[in-house]
Chains A and B, each alone.
Chain A
Amino acid sequence: MIESILKLIIQIMITLLIAPLFTGVIRKMKAKVQHRVGASVFQPYFDLTKLFKKDLVVSGTASWIYNLAPYVYFITALAAMCCLPVVYGLTGFSFYTDLLVVVYLFVGGRIFMALAALDTGSTFGGMGSSREMLVSALVEPALFIVIITISARTEIASTNIADIYKYMAVNTGTAFTPMNILLFASTLLILIAETSRIPVDDPATHLELTMVHEAMILEYSGRHLAFIELGTYIKQLVFMTIMANILIPAGFDNSNFILGFGIYLLKLLVITVLVGLVELNTVKFRLYSIPNFAVIALVISILGFFTGFILR
């Protein structure tokens, strides 16, 4: 019992420590191609520290939902992260949870954010909520196919993370099968859509009218904003962890903690660079083209399923 609590604490610490880094890396990549020096890769950490120190400005018309939503958003993201195995032998509460729980934790957080955005009655909040719900509804089928395929691999076809985890520990050698690579590609697209990155959304835009996720959080400031930002960083880390550890489990069965953690970080950085490359080479979609993007993710995941089980 004490050991699991200790593990949970360590995992939370690791999550909070590394989550903002990858956004910093993507920003640095963007700066470099523009011939800019760019901010340090640790800038997201500085921003968070700054935001935690700042005062809150809360609209007079806001209800309790508005004040609660950032915490719910942050906690659900953190809980989702704790469901996943990070390094061999280190998982917060993976033995009690299910991969579908991860999805529904996000849904819970998102519902609160969407309600909070409507709560203040500002112009852009409602717009952002409706767009965010559209995007998430569109990519959900692809995410489910990915999860079903992952679970179908295990011996008893279970979505329980413990079973998936067991399977991984034995099958690290089969990391680069066509199925895994297709699922990996599909999850990369889902990651882009879920974490509001180009080409679905532009996290760096100043144009209120084009925002999706940013429009929802436009009213937030100070501590609230810091929790939302941190929640988004963790959400990004969750998808990257699914890709790094579950889909490409190479090097996962390392019993040396430091080495295992190093390999994990390296894999995350590779995924970050991939996301960065997609950002640099694509242009933001028209809003009505986002369904096409979601369909691509869905088709790739279905292909992954077929290559894994039918065409074998």
Chain B
Amino acid sequence: MVSEAIFETINRLLSNVLLDSKLLNENEIYTEILPGNIKPACLNIYSNIDCVLIDLFGNDLSQSHSEKIIIYYTFSVRSSNTLITLFTQVPKDDILQLESISGEIPSAALYEREVQDMYGISFLDIPDSRELVHHGNFPLKVYPLRKAFKVNTRLDFERREQEFVSISGTGVFEVPVGPVHAGIIEPGHFRFSVAGEPIINLEAKLYYVHRGLEKLAENQNFMRVLLLSERISGDETYTNSLAYCQAVEKLGGITYLSERALYTRVIFSELERICAHLGDISGLCVDTAYVFPAGQFAMMRRWILILCEQLTGSRFLRNTNKPGGLRRDFIRDNEKIIVECMDKLEKEFKDSVNIIKNNGMFIDRVEHTGILSREIAADLNAVGPGGRASGIKTDVRKEFPYAAYGKLKFNIPEHFNCDVNCRMNVKVEEISESISLIRQALEKMPAEGPVHIEIEELIPNAFAFGMTESPRGENVHFVMTGENNTILRYKVRTPSFCNWPALCHAVKSNTLTDFPLINKSFNLSYAGNDL
């Protein structure tokens, strides 16, 4: 009902420019606009409806429809459970360019650069037109996500200088770090401009683990793409596959899933969240050289991993989801070990949190470190614990209730000090909420019943969004189908993509020695960003 009201509002607001408009999948509004009108239309929506830009991506439809590339601008109306997608067809070999919206909507900047690299669409007046995905070794005028680009193409190796923002002045140095780091962590290059210890500017050059995941998904059977979705980012395996499954379920025409499957999905999502947050808190302790609690939290994380293995045979809950439900009833006969593990965890967790919170030296390290102001967080659409610690109370579980979250009671922690301590507190409180959610789900779950509904066939040339709240925040998957149950376009936007620029702002004016701590408090995924 609310979505319909918004649908009417959009038709009214854009009545002069829209070519076509429809409401699909209950809450997804798709509106076509001419390329020349896209910027005013976006700004019109952005200023008149309380929404945020959550995705901006291209889609090459040359083979099936026409010789055109479509650019989608997705806005989320978080207050009323609705997604608005404006799209426009850009003639591929035309000199026509799209107008950049990142001057007015700052969170669009990275998306526009990504589209530039991947589709060769140039944006007029883009504040920063440097390469985002490529590293100066990728041939010019090769656009990997266009249909003409074959996935097994071997490319020539080029050498172009990479540009970084350079800050000059007396005593200002550049400190390059990475992409290979001293620990066993993912690769990423950080370019710090420092005046002694304080950081003036940080630029993160990522995309070292770009695997061409979206390209690999093209023209694959939807069950094979499920495997890809599980491999987006290791510690978000379950929520990524769940987002994909939810999108595919919409495309398979399934409107109702078995209750048991929905509650199981809640339990697994929350187990993954507990596991990731425990790892993050442990990491914060390691980075401050606080040995004992670091060991405690790492131990508790292992408990959850062991529990996951007992339940599903996979420590990271891989191969558990399936479009239409679950592969098997994993919870049956295991209720007791889950409850026991939660009881044990709750007690130990409380004690360990007390230890770290009562250590003044530890609190001194995390307080007032890495402040991400509310304005910047809102402008960049910071999501997950990173956003919630800066007063941006957003959670897909509440706003776009999926699985059985609509039937369960839980609070979204919110803090306003914007520092590492707040991000840690958000995670601590989320763990307690997750434990309670798991208990509620086990109680409310019907004792018997199927956990899977077979998907016979996907509707061809249809599209849908799947959204979940991963441990790191809002997770948006867009799926468009082709003929014969294949996937034509799979666009993934993980929370890490939104939060990397936020991290670069949060470190400013902190000392270089505090960077690892701030980085850990966000704990963003490189693989999830690079795809």
Contacts and interface: CB of A to CB of B under 8 A. Distances in A.
A127 B292 CA distance: 29
B183 interface: yes
Q: Which residue of A205, A207, A279, A288 has the most chain B CB atoms within 10 A of its CB atom?
A: A207
Nearest to B294: A34
A128 B399 CA distance: 48
A205 B289 CA distance: 8
A130 B299 CA distance: 37
B220 interface: no
User: Which bucket holds chain B's interface residue count?
Assistant: 20 to 34
Nearest to B299: A35
Contact of A207 (B183, B361, B364): B183
A283 B365 contact: yes
B288 interface: yes
Nearest to B514: A286
Interface stretch (B71-79, B173-181, B375-383): B173-181
Nearest to A29: B291
A202 to B, nearest CB: 4
A289 B295 CA distance: 25
B182 A284 contact: no
B295 A33 contact: yes
Given A282-B361, A287-B197, A209 B512 contact: yes
A199 interface: yes
Given A209-B516, A283-B365, A286-B513, 7 more contacts: A35-B299, A199-B289, A199-B361, A202-B289, A205-B287, A205-B289, A209-B515
Nearest to B285: A283
B359 interface: yes
Interface of B: 175-177, 181-183, 197, 287-292, 294-295, 298-299, 359, 361-362, 364-365, 511-516
Contact of B175 (A127, A199, A279): A127
Given A33-B291, A206-B183, A210-B287, A283 B361 contact: yes
Nearest to A288: B511
Main secondary structure of the interface of A (DSSP, over half): loop
Nearest to B368: A286
Contacts of B288: 283-284
Contact of A283 (B182, B362, B511, B513): B362
A280 interface: yes
B361 A35 contact: no
A59 interface: no
Interface string A160-201: 000000000000000000000000000000000000001100
Interface in A266-312: 279-280, 282-289
- Which bracket fits the contact residues of A? 20 to 34
A123 interface: yes
5 contacts: A30-B291, A34-B294, A199-B289, A206-B183, A283-B290
Nearest to A202: B289
A208 B177 contact: yes
A35 B282 CA distance: 14
A202 B365 CA distance: 14
Given A209-B513, A289-B364, A283 B359 contact: yes
A53 B294 CA distance: 34
Contacts of B299: 34-35
From B181, B287, B362, B364, residue with most partner A Cβ within 10 Å: B287
Given A34-B295, A207-B516, A289-B364, A198 B177 contact: no
Interface string A32-49: 011110000000000000
Nearest to A279: B291
A123 B292 CA distance: 31
B289 A123 contact: no
A33 B292 contact: yes
Nearest to B288: A283
Contact of B182 (A30, A207, A289): A207
Contacts of A284: 288-290, 365
Interface string A206-246: 11111000000010000000000000000000000000000
A74 to B, nearest CB: 24
Contacts of B516: 207, 209-210
B176 A123 contact: yes
Task: Kindly list the 8 A-B residue pairs having the minimum CB-CB distance in the complex, ordered from nearest.
Answer: A34-B295, A206-B183, A202-B289, A284-B289, A283-B361, A207-B516, A283-B362, A206-B182
A34 B361 contact: no
Contacts of B515: 209
Nearest to A214: B182
A179 to B, nearest CB: 28
A123 B177 contact: yes
Contacts of B292: 33-34, 280
Contacts of B298: 34
Given A33-B291, A33-B292, A283-B289, A210 B177 contact: no
A163 to B, nearest CB: 40
Nearest to A30: B291
A78 to B, nearest CB: 29
